[in-house]
Structure 1
Amino acid sequence: MNEQALQIIEVELSILIRRISSFTTYKKIGSLDRSAYLLLHQISSHGSASVKTLADEFHLDVSTVSRQTAALEQKGYVYRIPDPVDGRSYSLHITEHGAAALNENKQARQERVAELLKSWSAEDRLIFGQLLAKFNRTFD
C-alpha cells in the first residue's frame, strides 16, 4: 500500500472522528443518540431482530446492546415479541413512535450532511458515499 495514502487516510479519519465526536457532544442533531439511531435504523431497515443479531451486526457485546435496547423499549421506540420456541429469547420490533423518532432524526442528520456538502459536486457526493460504504463493509 502506498505509504503516503495510508498516512493521509489515517490522519483524516482521526480528524473526522474527533469532529464528529465534538459536534455530536456540543450540537446534538435530533433527539436520538448515535446508538439509538443506529439500532432503530437497523430494525426499521431489516425487520425485527434479536439482541444477539444486533450485537453481531454492530460488533458489540450482547450486554451493551441489551442495555441500549432496554432504553429504547422504555422510551416506547421498540417492543418485544417472545420467541415461540425459546421462551427466553425475543425479537425487537420498532413501534410507530420509534419510526417517527427515527424519521425525524434521519431528516435532521441528512439536512446537516447536505449543509456540509453543499459546495461539493453531485459526482463527488456520490463517490464519497460509495467509498464510505465500501470502507464500512471492510469491518465485516
Structure 2
Amino acid sequence: MMTKNPVETIEVELGIFIRRFIAATTNKKVGNLDRAAYLLLHQISTHGSAGVKALAEEFQLDMSTISRQTAALEQKGYLYRIPDPQDGRAYSMQLTDTGTAELALNKQARLEYLTKHLQDWTEEDQQRFGELLNKFNCTF
C-alpha cells in the first residue's frame, strides 16, 4: 500500500478538523461567542489593547471586516475604545469587564469540550499536538 503525500494528508485532515470544530462550537453552542468574536477578544486579552489596523494584520483580514467585528463587540459591551493621544482619529480596543467575563466563560466551555474529546489521549500526545499546531500556525 502506497503512503499518501504527507502534505495531502495534512490538507484533508485540516479541512475535516476545521469543519468539525466550527460545527461543534457554532451549531452546538459551545459558549455564546462566535469564532471571530472569541478570537478577537482572546487576542486583545492576551496581547493588550490594539487598534483595528494591528488586529487586521494579525488576523490577515481587511480593516473593514475587523471594524465591523469590533463595532459589534463594542455594541454588546465587550470592548471599548481608547483614543490615541497622537492621532485623534485613531483608537485602540480594550476589553470591558463584561468582555473579560464572557471570554472566560467561552474559553471554559471550549476547554471542557476539547477535554472531553481528548480524554483518551495521553498528556504527551496532547502536548505534542498542541506544539505541532502552534508550529503550523506560526508558519503562516
* TM-score bracket for the superposition, by shorter chain length: over 0.9
Alpha-carbon distance in 2 for matches of 1:6, 1:54: 29
Alpha-carbon distance in 2 for matches of 1:121, 1:67: 41
Question: Corresponding residue for 1:121?
Answer: 122
- Report the more deviating stretch, 70-79 or 21-30: 21-30
Which consecutive residues of structure 2, in runs of 5 or more, have no partner in the other structure? Answer: none
Give the TM-score normalised by the residue count of structure 1: 0.94
Question: Corresponding residue for 2:71?
Answer: 70
Which consecutive residues of structure 1, in runs of 5 or more, have no partner in the other structure? Answer: none
Give the TM-score normalised by the residue count of structure 2: 0.94
Q: Deviations over 1:15-35 (max 9, x none)?
A: 112212322342121011111
Alpha-carbon distance in 1 for matches of 2:137, 2:55: 16
Number of equivalences: 138
Contact 2:84 2:91 in 1 (8 A): yes
What SS class does the counterpart of residue 49 from structure 2 fall into? coil
Aligned-pair identity (%): 62
Alpha-carbon distance in 1 for matches of 2:77, 2:9: 43
Runs of 4 or more off by more than 3 Å in structure 1? Answer: none
Cα deviation for residue 14 of structure 1 reads 1.6
Question: Corresponding residue for 2:29?
Answer: 28
Question: Corresponding residue for 1:60?
Answer: 61
Question: Corresponding residue for 1:107?
Answer: 108
Contact 2:78 2:100 in 1 (8 A): yes
Root-mean-square deviation (CA, aligned residues, Å) is: 1.2
